[in-house]
């Protein structure tokens, strides 16, 4: 440790901020400072202490700003960024559009342009790490050719954020029809489950650990339960075979495992019938869980991802306080970014608090600090990265954001944990740092031309709409105005 006579040398010094560390003691340091060298945090403390011992090539004055660990979004969907609002409230039409676009209406440029747009939004909102299932709707994944995932990962590498891309098979029946595009020439082929598996394995081999470890792959599998998905009963043997294959794939490559859409009884079933639960598993939505579901999570160390702004959280409730009281790690996810959500994790923290307080008719449920843990240190634990990110502590990777507190809606300058969880939004993030690299400073993104990213995303959307014939889903429904329901 450098002494007072010989100041240490660092790459970056953040000083005079309100540092909300999320460390073991949950310290909040007024007039605090953070020192970064080699992409990692090397010192945290008061500004007076730190500045007397360290010098840095770059200094950021964080006066009147909160300094936080980068936020983590543990469940979202690649592709969704270019299909927001389609169908205008018609959920069935939107789901059908997902299937069409993700299998036959998208090219590699679509996935690249969408990933850049999504990562840019996350960067601007202070979400430094995100999970994206490689597709959506009813588990329709773009796993016919590794090129699509490669282009997604190219985009993440370029923007500079940290990401987990979840790959796995599309939901049965199979084979599935996929189409590739060369200019306006469309080539169609049938893709079997065996080919999907080979594609997923190639994506893991070629993409996992890219960009100095910022780009990672995890394994996903559609949820199956005989009561909740009775139409899938004829494929019970397929699900059983896939559970074994993809569980083994995840273990062989030491990857996290996830599923999208658990509900009452399905977690117990996944554990007892398929052996899918475990310390490397994180399961999303998880609404209306039974006591047996919760017990299975406790027994196996399985983590839960709660998506308070999602449609499934309208249809049922993830019992977050009950899970936490039982000792289960719960993280938050955006379920972004379509049909009607965002990557703004401040929004989802606020939604989470009020959602469960309304359920219990108790304003004391889910304190502000707890929900902040759910998008930082608890989310890092969900991804197996609690020793690397999720808090501002010496030795951890420098994923850090600054939130400008000197704004009318965030004044007065007191009670900073309450300010950032109840009053702040993604637009209040002014600086975003990942791996010690300043990606955005004072609202200016350094890694890409934002205008070019947005224009390219618009162009990719227009091409997709022409190819799929789905432009009519952008029309406003007749019930948009003067009606109580879509």
pLDDT at 1 over 70: no
For the segment 270-287, the average pLDDT, to the nearest whole number, is 97
**CA 245 distance to own-chain centroid:** 25
Gap between the Cα atoms of 93 and 81, Å rounded: 17
pLDDT at res. 137: 81
Q: Who's near 441: CB < 8 A, 6+ residues apart?
A: 60, 430, 431
Tens digit of pLDDT for each residue in 233-252? 999 999 999 999 999 999 99
Q: How far apart are the first and last CA of the chain?
A: 63
Rounded to 5°, the CA angle 135-141-143 comes to 125
**Amino acid 367: pLDDT:** 98
Cα–Cα dist 209/212, whole Å: 6
Note the pLDDT tens digit of each residue in 369-424: 999 999 999 999 999 999 999 999 999 999 999 999 999 999 999 999 999 999 99
Looking at the predicted structure, is the pLDDT value of residue 106 above 70? Answer: yes
Q: What's the pLDDT band for 5 if we cut at 50, 70, 90?
A: low
* 93 has pLDDT over 70: yes
226, pLDDT greater than 60: yes
Helix 108-125 with 450-468: angle, nearest 10 deg: 140
- pLDDT exceeds 60 at position 42: yes
Q: pTM for the complete prediction?
A: 0.97
**Is 275's pLDDT higher than 80?**
yes
> From its phi and psi, is residue 4 left (phi > 0), alpha (psi between -120 and 50) or beta?
alpha
Mind listing the pLDDT tens digit for each residue in 423-468? 999 999 999 999 999 999 999 999 999 999 999 999 999 999 999 9
Q: Is 109 exposed, middle or buried (0-12, 13-18, 19+ CB in 10 A)?
A: middle
How far is Cα 65 from Cα 51, in angstroms, rounded to an integer? 18
Task: Place 288 in a pLDDT band, splitting at 50, 70 and 90.
Answer: very high
Which residues have CB under 8 Å from 351's CB, separation 6+? Answer: 308, 309
Residue 338 has pLDDT above 80, yes or no: yes
Within 8 A by CB and 6+ apart from 370, the residues are 324
- Give the residue, 40 or 184, on which the prediction is more confident: 40
H-type helices in 168-235, by residue range?
193-207, 210-213
How far apart, in Å, are the Cα atoms of 117 and each of 52, 159, 425, 432, 445?
41, 9, 19, 16, 13
**Mean pLDDT, residues 163-186:** 96
Q: CB under 8 Å to 227, separation ≥6 — which residues?
A: 265
Contacts of 234 (CB under 8 A, 6+ apart): none
pLDDT digits (tens, 9 = 90+) for 197-212: 999 999 999 999 999 9
Would the pLDDT of 3 be above 70? no
* Token pair recorded at residue 363: 């304003």
| pLDDT tens digits for range 47-76 | 999 999 999 999 999 999 999 999 999 999
């Amino acid at each position: 440790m450098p002494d007072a006579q010989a100041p240490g040398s660092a790459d970056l010094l953040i000083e005079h901020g309100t540092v909300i560390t999320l460390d073991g003691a949950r310290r909040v340091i007024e007039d605090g400072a953070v020192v970064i060298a080699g992409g990692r945090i090397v010192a945290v403390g008061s500004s007076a202490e730190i500045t007397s011992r360290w010098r840095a090539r770059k200094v950021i004055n964080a006066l009147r700003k909160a300094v936080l660990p980068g936020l983590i979004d543990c469940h979202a969907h690649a592709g969704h960024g270019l299909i927001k609002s389609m169908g205008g409230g018609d959920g069935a039409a939107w789901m059908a559009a997902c299937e069409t676009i993700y299998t036959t209406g998208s090219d590699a440029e679509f996935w690249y342009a969408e990933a850049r747009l999504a990562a840019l939004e996350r960067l601007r909102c202070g979400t430094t790490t995100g999970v994206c299932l490689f597709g959506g709707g009813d588990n329709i994944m773009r796993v016919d050719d590794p090129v699509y995932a490669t282009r997604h990962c190219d985009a993440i590498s370029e923007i500079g954020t940290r990401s987990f891309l979840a790959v796995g098979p599309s939901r049965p029946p199979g084979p599935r029809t996929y189409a590739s595009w060369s200019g306006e020439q469309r080539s169609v082929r049938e893709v079997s489950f065996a080919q999907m598996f080979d594609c997923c394995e190639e994506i893991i081999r070629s993409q996992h650990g890219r960009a100095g470890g910022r780009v990672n792959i995890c394994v996903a599998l559609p949820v199956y339960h005989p009561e909740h998905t009775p139409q899938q009963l004829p494929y019970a043997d397929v699900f059983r075979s896939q559970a074994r294959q993809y569980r083994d794939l995840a273990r062989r490559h030491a990857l996290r495992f996830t599923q999208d859409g658990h509900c009452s009884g399905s977690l117990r079933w996944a554990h007892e019938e398929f052996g899918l639960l475990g310390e490397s598993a994180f399961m999303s939505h998880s609404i209306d869980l039974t006591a047996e579901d919760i017990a299975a999570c406790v027994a196996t160390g399985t983590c839960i991802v709660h998506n308070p702004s999602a449609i499934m959280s309208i249809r049922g409730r993830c019992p977050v306080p009950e899970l936490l009281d039982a000792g289960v790690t719960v993280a938050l996810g955006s379920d972004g970014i379509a049909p009607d959500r965002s990557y703004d994790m401040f929004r989802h923290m606020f939604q989470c608090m009020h959602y469960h307080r309304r359920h219990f008719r108790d304003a004391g449920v889910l304190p502000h600090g707890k929900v902040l843990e759910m998008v930082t240190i608890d989310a890092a634990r969900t991804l197996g990265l609690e020793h690397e990110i999720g808090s501002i502590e010496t030795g951890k990777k420098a994923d850090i954001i600054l939130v400008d507190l000197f704004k009318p809606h965030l004044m007065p300058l007191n009670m900073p944990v309450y300010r950032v969880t109840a009053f702040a939004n993604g637009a209040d993030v002014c600086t975003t740092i990942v791996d010690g690299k300043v990606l955005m400073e004072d609202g200016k993104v350094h890694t890409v031309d934002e205008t070019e990213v947005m224009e390219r995303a618009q162009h990719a959307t227009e091409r997709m709409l022409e190819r799929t014939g789905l432009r009519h889903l952008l029309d406003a429904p007749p019930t948009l105005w003067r009606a109580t329901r879509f």
